[in-house]
Amino acid sequence: MSIIRVTKEFGFEMAHALVDYDGPCRNVHGHSYRLFVTISGKPSEKKGDPKKGMVIDFGDLKRIVKKNIVDIFDHTVLISGTDSNERIEALRRAFGNLLVSDYQPTCENLVADIAARLKPLLPPDITLFSVKLYETATSYAEWYASDNE
């Protein structure tokens, strides 16, 4: 049986600010992110399996990503924990739904974080192949398992 890749697309709204950045992205601003999660595996061949012929049920992949990524990041402000305590508290008061990360919240770091969160949640016979995160309509970052082994 062939190995097949399956991709599901998601969307979420999130704001962020980059600490010590030398451009306008140092200010709080938002994006409509588009996320593509691609897994790989062999379609089930088990007799009587309701998922026969599938690598993963798209609904199962949707539940995993929605619960562990979209529901966490959607309509939040993401900021680095290296920012000043004063700014972090001011943003918490202003926006309420603030996430403080241990990284600079660039698209590149966010896509790596998403991959790290998803990898252990997939069934053992399924591999996270890639994650692509669009920050704007023309700008994205990609994470590939083969580059990170």
The residues assigned a catalytic role are 25, 75, 135
Three-class SS state of 14? strand
Separation CA 126–CA 134 (nearest Å): 24
Separation CA 25–CA 106 (nearest Å): 10
Widest CA span of the chain, in angstroms?
Answer: 60
Which neighbouring-strand residues pair with 13? 32
